[in-house]
Amino acid sequence: MKLHILPARQGLLWVKQGVRTFFRQPLALSGLFFIFMALMSVLSLVPVLGNALALALLPAATLGLMAATQIVNKGGFPKPLVLLSGLRSGREELRSMMTLGGLYAAAILLVLACSALIDGGKFARLYLLGGSMDADVVQDAAFKSAALLAMALYLPVSLLFWHAPALVHWHGVSPVKSLFFSAVACGRNMGAYLVYSLVWFCLFLGVSTAAALMAMLVGGEDSVAAVLFPCGLVMAAMFFTSIYFTFADSFDAGTDVLA
């Protein structure tokens, strides 16, 4: 396995590859993403352990979306079972993926515990248990500080786990080593990832603004939420489609999912 050092402009190419691949099979990739979201939502409804279980399965589920992207990129059609790619490739990989999921859940819970030191757990409870964000909560200085701290702490966590599921699945790397290699890959190619993040931010902002304006012109303010929600889901599906290319370009090609 060899790490590739990429120019900053590669970040823009990743976005283009993700969008182009998505439109090869928009219904299939959107459907898989909706299944992914529905699974996470259903698990979060389970009392006490539901959210922790959803967090633990997130790396494996993300790997499933990456595998679906690889299949589409090679001209194939992704079936729903591809979402289980990281869980049905043998006992050893299943153990590694579950270990990785446990580490991810522990990292997120640690981030939330740190935020609870600032606001007494308001942000953590909202994240884990859900609920509405009324004006009093949003304007609370401690809550805003806790949310900002959680976002700041989540950044290094995301870098550690960005490539980790794919490294475990396609390169057979151990969970702990996959975290190290993922962080190194993101750090050495930080310019490309910054461009990638900025382009996606601009796309999300531009598309959501345009969709909101069109909805207001056609149906008034009441129709804005009805338009923004599905629009946001489709954009998120495109984003997850592009994640595969950040991995494929950062490391030597691994085992083919189609094999």
pLDDT at 6: 94
Within-domain flag for 220: yes
Whether pLDDT at 256 is above 60: no
- Tell me what the pLDDT averaged over the chain comes to: 89
In a domain, 211, yes or no: yes
Question: For the whole prediction, is pTM greater than 0.85?
Answer: yes
pLDDT (0 to 100) of residue 222: 67
Q: Which of the two residues, 48 and 93, has the higher pLDDT score? A: 93
The alpha carbon of residue 241 and the mean position of all alpha carbons in its chain are separated, in whole angstroms, by 10
Burial class (CB in 10 A: 0-12, 13-18, 19+), 166: buried
Give the per-residue pLDDT at 220. 67
User: 120 in the Ramachandran plot: left (φ > 0), alpha (ψ -120 to 50) or beta?
Assistant: left
CA distance 167 to 175: 9
pLDDT at 257 over 50: no
Whether 259 maps to a domain, the answer reads: no
**Distance, CA of 73 to CA of 168 (rounded, Å):** 21
Whole-number Cα distances in Å, 161 to 83, 180, 204: 18, 9, 23
- Quick one: pLDDT at residue 255? 42
Residues 60 and 94 sit within 8 Å (Cβ to Cβ): no
Taking CA 190 as the corner, what is the angle to CA 189 and CA 192, rounded to the nearest 5 degrees? 70
Average pLDDT rounded to a whole number, residues 4-33:
96
Is 175 or 93 the better-scoring residue by pLDDT? 175
Give yes or no for residue 57 having a pLDDT over 70. yes
pLDDT value, residue 258: 34
Residue 3 belongs to some domain of the structure:
no
Assign 40 a pLDDT band (cuts: 50, 70, 90): confident
Which residue type, as a one-letter code, is found at position 75?
A: G
- 14's CB contacts (< 8 A; 6+ apart) are 192, 196, 242, 245, 246, 249
Secondary element (H or E) of residue 232:
helix 224-250
Q: Average pLDDT of 215-219?
A: 77
Task: Inform me whether the pLDDT recorded for 25 exceeds 90.
Answer: yes
pLDDT over threshold 70, residue 192: yes
Q: Do the domain assignments include residue 221?
A: yes
148 lies in a domain? Answer: yes
Kindly state the average pLDDT of the residues 129-156: 82
Residue 112 lies in a domain: yes
Q: Which domain holds residue 216?
A: 10-250
Whether 78 has a pLDDT exceeding 80, the answer reads yes
pLDDT score recorded for residue 51: 85
Q: In the chain, what is the greatest distance between 2 CA atoms, to the nearest angstrom?
A: 55
Looking at the domain assignment, is residue 30 inside a domain?
A: yes
Q: Comparing 1 with 63, which gets the higher pLDDT?
A: 63
The residue-averaged pLDDT of 12-32 equals: 96
Domain count, the chain: 1
Q: What percent of the chain has pLDDT over 70?
A: 92
